[in-house]
Structure 1
């Protein structure tokens, strides 16, 4: 590594994540130069390359999407089943990107509730396509990551046309004041649009997110109405969320039976 690359590695290791924009400004060089540095260090196994930046190599900050699908399965299934029970007749709901959101779509499959699902997630759209009672609206936009996220002005414009009874939002961690945080600005902008159009904004996260921070504040803590998770947050975070008026709801593990029956009927 040259001196700049060594410093980039130090920054990413300390922060957990750094954007190409921030690094280019820090070193007064081009985005392309930083991108080449990141590619070199990713190939060397020193850090992880992501769209728009780089993350720590140990995977604790931002696991690869394919790895996420195998993490905390019981927790995600319980959260998804709990969320699905909130979807009622004639509701319009938004389902975000992520593996818990995909589990939520699977939980909706056996239901015969006449509702509308709006999503910026190709995987959710494909899972619900052709459902006899659920109208599925998939945002347009650019799909550039393996999680099926649709981003950009087209996705935001479509989301802003609706009023949602619930917006089920995933994210990667919390700031010290309880604000939800994520890594990808393009995805964050779509999430913000959905939260802004929702009567009830629900964070759907497993307990592994409680002790993480990401690089972008998604919204202030007060923008969320509820956190739906599998365990209570640490005391400091619980106090911050309570002070912001966020209700913490624990998914019942009994909800897994609904998911298991769903998976059996939709292998």
Structure 2
């Protein structure tokens, strides 16, 4: 991978400034929604709803602390992209509104899940995954222009996308349980194991080619590891470990096989 060449930003337009302001407002909105959803202000807390619909792929509750890091990263991204010289950049024009949509969808998911509208919540989180996938793909087409982009743009989006990749699968299982499907037992175990293997394969492919490879892989590994720690049936544990190791191996390979001097770009660019 060749080093990125910094390109001058276009002069910011009114549309650019509106987009930058919307992303900053959205980043703050999801922080507030996350705090309220965790406290049960909208009904039950997110954790309570999840525990009432437990499945074989449920992560250990402590794993959800990653949301604090995701919120902090998105807030840092939002502040930076609103600073002088940033709003007119092509990368922000390509990704900004998609990231705004992600903040609104995340806040909406918290609201509807806390209200126990589990099916609607699953529709929302699938939409969130799609939006983040588009944002990450567009970032991949705009290589990072230095360490600041890697830390405050590619990294936060990739971390967010990685976590939501697994959270969507967990949410699907939760939705099935809510609708009356068995959360545990032979069929649930087989389906859970198969879905985790497919998730690992997709996540490994994204890690191999996408922007922010290390951040993306780290959040996926964190989520899969949390499922293992929860102590699911053996088949699910093995599947989660296989998926985890596949993603980790691809991330390590991407970094170690990059030419010396470009490894940081390979990891975070």
TM-score of the superposition, structure 1-length normalised?
Answer: 0.29
TM-score by length of 2: 0.28
